[in-house]
Each structure stands twice: as structure tokens, then as C-alpha cells.
């Protein structure tokens, strides 16, 4: 897909991977609407994008509510005069033992990470089909491919989003709307600020700009998926398919240190 002039809506585009992707798409001539719940963060993101020469505006809304999704989509289509690319990027995470999770925390992950992208995509499809060729980009997580311990709900909703994305890609095949599934690995963003797990338990962070560049390359080349984390992560994904008990054993050997590192990880 030629990105020049494309009308793009990025949920959670005020921070981290979303904002870096907005910047990278703007550099390729896209027109943007970025969203988030916090008004001041939306204003700051829009100001920084405009300062860099982008055509950008913002919507302050919560994608986990019907009202917020309506405001998001209406705001975007009014500002842009239509829509070519929807990037479902807003996300929520809370790690820890399942028995330590509150029901509202579990439900927030289900609503933000899974229900919101499904319903926003459903609402956006008529606009996406209206243009010269549309695209839905779903930002899931490498955890959808290897479910790490102490992330049971987050892994479940990200795997759900991954399956939604694959099924929708096949449903829309030949109808002018492509679907790209993105699997970031650890990325240095505010979402990871409360994660204290380090390289001793296999955690490392890459800059959000690297993930953004890979997303933009994926859009430009009509790729079906972008998987981050390099050859090491790919080897673990392959092992998880071929010999899941070997991956179980690997996690068992670091289980206490891993739990200690991730138990306070929360960005809801």
C-alpha cells in the first residue's frame, strides 16, 4: 500500500508504539488522527506531530466504552473525510497471579484489548471499504504466540485478538481491505514502566521506533504479520509449537524470579 496521503486512525496514538507509528507514518505523508483517554496527552501528541510537519488531529476518548468508540470513529472520519487505515493499538495490561487479580482488572483487559478492537473494526469497515483500498492493523503481542506465566488474562485477550485478525483477514480477502497483525515483543514504552523483569529472566526492551518502522514497512509491503523479538524469540515460538513441555521447563527454572519481576506490572 502506498502510504502517501492515506487517512489513518491510531487508537492509543499518544504514547509508545502508537505515537512512534504516527510519527513514522507522518514522515511517509499519511494524514493522522491519534487517540487516548487523557486530553492533555492527546493535545501534546498532536502538537508534536504538527511541529514535525504532519497533518494530525486528536480525539480524547475511551475505546472500552460504546460512547468512546463512537466519538473515536466519528472524530476521525470527520477530520480526515473518510478512513483508509485503522490501527487498533490501545492496550491494557496487568500481570500477576490469577488469584491476585481483581475482576474489574480482568474485565478491563478483555474490554480494551479484545472487545474494543473487534467493535471498532466492525464500525469502521464501511468507511474502510469506501476508499481505494483499506487496511486494519491489529497490535497484539508476542505473548499471543508464547503465553508467559503470570499473564494469563493478557495472553488470552492478545491471542484472541490474533485469531480475530487472522480470521478477518481471510473473511475480507479479495474485498479491498487487508489485515495486518503485529506482535511486538518487549518494547521500551510507558506500559513497561512498572515491569521490573530483566535479561536474567529473558526480558529485553527495544525502542518503540524500531517497532513503528517495522509496522510501517508491513503496511507498505501489504504484509500479513509483523513479529518482533528477533531470531531468539522466533526460536522460542517454534519450540513452543514443537515441544511445549520444553518451554514449560524453561519457565519453571526461572519461575520465582520471573514472578518477582512482573508481579507489579500494571498499565490499565
Q: Which is nearer to ligand NAP, 133 or 147 (CB)?
A: 147
Cα separation, 221 vs 56, whole angstroms: 24
Which among 153, 212, 192 is positioned nearest to 8, based on CA atoms? 212
Contacts for 266 with CB less than 8 Å, ≥ 6 apart: 93, 94, 95, 105, 194
What residues form DSSP beta bridges with 195? none
Q: List, in order, residues 6 or more apart from 38 with CB less than 8 Å away.
A: 14, 60
What's the CA gap between 43 and 60, in Å, rounded?
Answer: 9
Backbone angles phi, psi at 4, to 5 degrees: -50, 125
Question: Least separation, in Å, of the C-beta of 43 and ligand NAP?
Answer: 11
CB of 91 or CB of 218, closer to ligand NAP:
91
Query: Of these residues, 154, 164, 183, 258, which one is catalytic?
Result: 154
- Say whether 183 is catalytic: no
Nearer to ligand NAP, 176 or 206 (CB): 206
The residue among 77 and 140 lying less far from ligand NAP, judged by its C-beta, is 140
Residues at the interface with ligand NAP (CB under 6 A): 11-12, 14-18, 35-38, 41, 62-64, 89-93, 112, 139, 141, 184, 186-187, 189-192, 267
CB of 221 to ligand NAP, least distance (A): 21
Beta-sheet strand order (sheet of 31-36)? 55-60, 31-36, 7-10, 85-88, 134-139, 177-183, 225-227
Active site residues: 154
Amino acid at each position: 500500500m502506498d502510504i502517501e496521503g492515506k487517512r489513518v486512525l491510531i487508537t492509543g496514538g499518544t504514547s509508545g508504539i502508537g505515537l512512534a507509528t504516527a510519527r513514522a507514518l507522518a514522515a511517509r505523508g499519511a494524514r493522522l488522527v491519534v487517540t487516548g483517554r487523557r486530553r492533555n496527552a492527546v493535545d501534546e501528541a498532536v502538537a508534536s506531530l504538527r511541529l514535525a510537519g504532519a497533518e494530525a488531529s486528536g480525539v480524547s476518548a475511551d475505546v472500552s466504552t460504546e460512547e468512546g468508540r463512537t466519538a473515536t470513529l466519528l472524530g476521525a472520519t470527520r477530520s480526515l473525510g473518510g478512513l483508509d487505515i485503522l490501527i487498533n493499538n490501545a492496550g491494557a495490561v496487568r500481570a500477576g497471579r490469577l488469584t491476585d487479580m481483581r475482576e474489574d482488572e480482568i474485565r478491563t483487559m478483555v474490554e480494551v484489548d479484545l472487545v474494543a478492537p473487534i467493535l471498532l473494526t466492525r464500525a469502521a469497515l464501511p468507511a474502510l471499504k469506501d476508499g481505494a483500498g483499506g487496511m486494519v492493523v491489529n497490535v497484539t503481542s508476542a505473548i499471543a504466540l508464547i503465553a508467559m506465566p503470570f499473564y494469563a488474562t493478557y495472553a488470552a485477550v492478545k491471542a484472541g485478538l490474533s485469531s480475530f485478525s487472522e480470521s478477518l483477514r481471510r473473511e475480507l480477502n479479495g474485498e479491498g481491505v487487508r489485515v495486518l497483525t503485529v506482535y511486538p515483543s518487549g518494547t521500551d514504552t510507558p506500559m513497561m514502566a512498572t515491569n521490573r523483569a530483566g535479561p536474567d529472566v529473558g526480558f529485553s526492551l527495544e525502542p518503540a521506533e524500531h517497532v513503528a518502522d517495522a509496522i510501517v514497512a508491513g503496511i507498505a509491503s501489504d504484509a500479513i504479520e509483523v513479529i518482533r523479538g528477533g531470531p531468539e524469540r522466533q526460536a522460542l515460538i517454534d519450540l513452543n509449537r514443537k515441544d511445549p513441555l520444553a518451554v514449560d521447563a524453561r519457565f519453571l527454572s526461572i519461575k520465582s524470579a520471573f514472578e518477582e519481576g512482573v508481579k507489579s506490572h500494571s498499565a490499565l
